Amino acid sequence: MLPTRAAVVVAGGGAAGFMAAIAAAEAGARDVHLLEATPEPLAKVRISGGGRCNVTHACWDPRVLVGHYPRGSQALRGPFSRFATGDAVAWFDDHGLELVEEGDGRMFPRSNRSESVIKTLRRAAQLAGVELHLGTALQTAVPIGAPGEGFELKLRCPGPDGSRSAAMQAGQLVLATGSHPSGRQLAAGLGHTLVAPVPSLFTLALAADPLRQLAGVAMDPVAMELELSADLATGDRAVGTKRFCQQGPVLITHWGLSGPATLRLTAFAARALKQVGYRAVLKLDWSGGRSQAQLEGWFAEARSHQAKRQLTNWRPWPELSRRLWGHLLVQVGADPERRWADLSKVHQIGLIQALRASRYEVTGRGPFGEEFVTAGGVPLAELSLATMESRISSGLYLAGELLDVDGITGGFNFQHCWSSGWLVGQAIAARQGYLI
């Protein structure tokens, strides 16, 4: 049952909300209530990492960690200096969940099941005395009296015949509502400004699907350079060109490109891509950064030592996808059945150019709904980053994806949720007099 007044109300039963509620209660705060609008909390935790939950990333130095956040960046150095990757790993270990590092730095529960993370968080909340209210949504919040005296809340909660309205007061209020529009409306209603949300971490669609027949091919590493010009979308050549670069694994899909490098690229270019209507030129170095001289040397060696073999049967290096190599041969007009000894100079120049600098026209994002993260939300400048308390409304705290913070793929977005939630919990307990 909902009380008429609570010392602490946390709105949002996701990663940040659970961490804020647990951290507050474990640090001594009393009467902590956690509201989740849906029947099942921690929905993103459940589906993340293909159901495995990429809890965090093995990036231990806060000075390096901040470089993985296109929005947030250096402003997060202070919060991460208090609770970063090592702290998150230790926190979960203390609560009975061992995290295991994979070769690329991503960290998963040893069970490889997101359900283990959910059980750990729910058990920790229960043991700490957090009251969890499912199917209960915060609809409005209005400050009471003088700053810091609390908030009058209106809620939608389960009733005998569906849902019903309810009212309660909260001494301290935490908004951890993720990217849901309702959370942004609540923050705006309490005086905060909002950075308009745009998709981040998405795949790229290419004009005319030039690589469609290669769907399923993965290459690593691939160097990517995205060139964005306003004239591509508006015809206005007065606006300068922006470039974004990444390198790493790329996956060719039925509509264009995906994979970790593509997602990182679109994360850093998210706002610029939005401004130009998701139209750009993409240059791909399939060679992984090999120099012109290196490729010329390999081609000369193949012409000498593989002279009688067909072009299609011998690639410049073994890691080059056979299907991609065949595609490039056709693209430059070279006969795949021709012998290496008969490869013309013109075709060699064309192949080296295609390997080092293939160019494709980007026409938009991948399929609707594939965006993994939203860029935008409450600006960090409107918070005290030592406590995540609002500078505008005393006693109000914000955490997680509601803020204008987003990281690249690999566990970084969850790490921000753990860090911001933990800081909120400490600040709430300190405000109640349990921490110094």
Sequence ranges of the domains in the chain:
5-199+373-431, 202-371
Averaged pLDDT score across all residues of the chain: 93
CA distance 78 to 307: 61
Mean pLDDT confidence for 355-384? 88
CA distance 122 to 109: 15
Residue-level pLDDT at 372: 66
Percent of the chain past pLDDT 90, that is, above it, reads: 88
Mean pLDDT confidence for 176-194? 96
* Contact (CB, 8 A) for 188 and 140: no
pLDDT at 232 over 80: no
DSSP for 359-380, written as a single string: EEEEEEESSTT---EEEEEB-G
Token code pair at residue 127: 């043991």
Q: How confident is the model at residue 259 (pLDDT cuts 50, 70, 90)?
A: very high
CA distance 62 to 65: 5
Parallel/antiparallel/unpaired status of strands 358-365 and 256-258: unpaired
Q: How confident is the model at residue 253 (pLDDT cuts 50, 70, 90)?
A: very high
CATH of region 5-199+373-431 = 3.50.50.60
Residue-level pLDDT at 6: 97
Mean pLDDT confidence for 8-36? 98
pLDDT at 369 over 70: no
Mean pLDDT confidence for 234-242? 57
Cα first-last separation, the chain: 32
Q: How confident is the model at residue 59 (pLDDT cuts 50, 70, 90)?
A: very high
Q: How confident is the model at residue 230 (pLDDT cuts 50, 70, 90)?
A: low
pLDDT at 370 over 80: no
Residue-level pLDDT at 146: 86
pTM: 0.90
Can you say whether the dihedral through the CA atoms of 250, 284, 341, 306 is positive or negative?
A: negative
Token code pair at residue 245: 């670069």
Residue-level pLDDT at 211: 94
Closest CA to 117 of 52, 27, 26, 35: 52
Residue-level pLDDT at 237: 46
Higher-pLDDT residue of 213, 160: 213
Residue-level pLDDT at 64: 97
